[in-house]
């Protein structure tokens, strides 16, 4: 299987002020499935500044028109059960390489419970405890939250993960950072209906009502009515809302709260097999490979049901993934600017998944196992339990 890109000069219009564009022809093929059996095939070019250009493929060919620059080109196909993903990096110039290649591989079946919205950037004056994580049942069947794990994946904070090998390859498991939490229940105590979501608050209080100092900024969220709360009993600085049920703490590595980096950090949702005992799993998967500072709970990627690779912002704008392509073929990011990728720390923005369709009043969220396609890049004002009347 190969993906090739041939480049020829293309001028978008006669307006001399418009940047010159180059035509990138992407040829798509797949060894694991017939392209004609796929419902759609889309190629997306993501520039180093965060701009995206997407086109559909016709008969396995997609034509992108791009200005000079560095890009990650990702291709996503889908049939009635699986997604098929592939990606390649390239530099578009007026004298480009003749061809590129990438493997388009089958990923896991469509997710049932997915991330709908993630908010962890905080607001000015270093207030970050107003974060929340909204999980959504994107299927047409009742799902159960019992035993589902929510975790923060350790990253390189702007560089390659220290858990990668010398060639930069990520392991087949995800080392968890901060605190890893999970829903209580014996299997069918906490149903989530089709099209329903639950909001998990870092702290279940009305953050928008806090007393502000002279330079403080009001938080955009009220989490006092959150569905669940992450309370860390061992912390001397965490607070507990007794009216909101708590997730269980599976493993604590560091910190006094559930804390993804405010500049961006990947998250996963995982579910263990039905015959697994959480305590035994934790004991058997707290690993400390040579070279690691401390042990971490490591969750095999086969248990992951959804992942969002939120790239940590760094001034050099280096893209360092911490999620395997089979779980997230792309990535998303927060940004402090609407025009380019800038530091998102304390910008008060969330990342939310796109709505793909609305049928008989029920909306469905986009799930191609590629965050570059599935999420609104850069972020927007957080809204818990957001509803949709039309597709994005």
Cβ atoms < 10 Å from Cβ of 53: 17
Q: What is the pLDDT of residue 357?
A: 92
Give the whole-angstrom CA distance, residue 110 versus residue 68: 35
Q: What are residue 383's DSSP bridge partners? A: none
Provide the 8-state DSSP code for 371: H
Q: What is the pLDDT of residue 17?
A: 55
Q: What is the pLDDT of residue 255?
A: 87
pLDDT band at 110 (very low <50, low <70, confident <90, very high): low
pLDDT band at 8 (very low <50, low <70, confident <90, very high): very low
Q: What is the pLDDT of residue 88?
A: 85
Q: Which residue has the tokens 């989490």?
A: 223
Give the whole-angstrom CA distance, residue 268 versus residue 114: 9
Provide the 8-state DSSP code for 375: B
Q: Which residues contact 214 (CB under 8 A, 6 or more apart)?
A: none
- Mean pLDDT across 4-14: 42
Residue 7 has pLDDT above 80, yes or no: no
- 310 Cα distance to chain centroid: 5
24 close to 42: Cβ distance less than 8 angstroms: no
374 close to 366: Cβ distance less than 8 angstroms: yes
| Paired sense of beta strands 197-201 and 228-229, if any | parallel
Show the tokens assigned to 150.
């929510």
- Mean pLDDT across 1-9: 39
Q: What percent of the chain has pLDDT over 70?
A: 93
Q: Which residue has the tokens 């304390």?
A: 346
Residues in the chain: 392
Mean pLDDT, the chain, rounded, equals 89
Q: How many CA atoms lie within 13 A of 283 on its CB side?
A: 5
- Mean pLDDT across 19-35: 88
Residue 181 has pLDDT above 80, yes or no: yes
195 close to 356: Cβ distance less than 8 angstroms: no
Give the whole-angstrom CA distance, residue 230 versus residue 165: 33
Show the tokens assigned to 352.
């939310």
Sign of the torsion angle spanned by Cα atoms 74, 331, 176, 182: negative
Q: Which of 340, 322, 345, 329 is nearest to 378 (CA)?
A: 340
Show the tokens assigned to 312.
């940590």
DSSP string, 182-241: E--SSSSSSEE-TT-EEEEESS-S-GGGSPP-TT----S---TT-SEE---TT-SS----
Q: Which residue has the higher pLDDT, 267 or 60?
A: 267
Q: In Å, how far are 220, 225, 362 from 200, measured between CA atoms?
A: 16, 10, 22
Element (H, E) at 283: helix 278-284
List, for residues 225-267, the tens digit of each pLDDT value. 999 999 999 998 999 999 999 999 999 998 889 999 999 999 9
List, for residues 296-351, the tens digit of each pLDDT value. 999 999 999 999 999 999 988 889 999 998 899 899 999 999 989 999 999 999 99
Give the whole-angstrom CA distance, residue 152 versus residue 268: 7
Residue 81 has pLDDT above 80, yes or no: no
278 close to 184: Cβ distance less than 8 angstroms: no
pLDDT band at 5 (very low <50, low <70, confident <90, very high): very low
pTM score: 0.80
- Mean pLDDT across 134-151: 95
């Amino acid at each position: 299987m190969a993906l090739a890109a041939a480049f020829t000069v293309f001028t978008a219009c006669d307006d001399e002020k418009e940047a010159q564009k180059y035509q990138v022809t992407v040829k798509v093929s797949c060894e694991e499935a017939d392209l004609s059996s796929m419902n759609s095939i889309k190629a997306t070019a993501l520039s180093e500044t965060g701009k995206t250009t997407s086109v559909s493929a016709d008969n396995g060919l997609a034509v992108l028109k791009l200005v000079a620059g560095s890009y990650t080109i990702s291709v996503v196909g889908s049939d009635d059960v699986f997604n098929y993903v592939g990606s390649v990096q390239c530099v578009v110039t007026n004298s480009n390489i003749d061809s590129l290649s990438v493997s388009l591989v089958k990923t896991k079946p469509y997710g049932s419970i997915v991330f709908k919205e993630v908010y962890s950037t905080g607001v000015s004056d270093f207030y970050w405890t107003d974060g929340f994580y909204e999980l959504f049942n994107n299927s047409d069947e009742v799902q159960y939250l019992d035993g589902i794990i929510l975790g923060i994946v350790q990253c390189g904070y702007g560089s390659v993960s220290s858990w990668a090998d010398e060639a930069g390859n990520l392991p087949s498991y995800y080392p968890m950072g901060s605190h890893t939490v999970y829903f209580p229940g014996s299997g069918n105590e906490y149903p989530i209906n089709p099209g329903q979501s639950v909001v998990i608050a870092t702290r279940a209080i009305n953050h928008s009502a806090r007393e502000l100092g002279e330079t403080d900024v009001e938080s955009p969220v009220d989490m006092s009515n959150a569905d669940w709360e992450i309370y860390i009993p061992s912390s001397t600085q965490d607070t507990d809302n007794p009216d909101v049920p708590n997730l269980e703490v599976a493993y604590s590595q560091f910190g006094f709260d559930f804390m993804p980096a405010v500049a961006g950090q990947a998250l996963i949702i995982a579910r263990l097999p039905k015959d697994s005992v959480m305590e035994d799993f934790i004991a058997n998967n707290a690993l400390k490979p040579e070279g690691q500072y401390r042990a971490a709970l490591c969750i095999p990627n086969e248990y992951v049901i959804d992942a969002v690779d939120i790239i940590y912002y760094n001034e050099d704008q280096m893209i360092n993934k911490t999620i395997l392509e089979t779980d997230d073929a792309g990535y998303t990011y927060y940004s402090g600017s609407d025009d380019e990728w800038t530091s998102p720390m304390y910008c008060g923005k969330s990342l939310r998944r796109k709505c793909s369709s609305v049928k008989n009043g029920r909306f469905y969220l986009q799930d191609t196992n590629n965050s570059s396609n599935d999420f609104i890049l850069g972020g927007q004002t957080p809204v818990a339990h957001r509803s949709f009347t039309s597709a994005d």
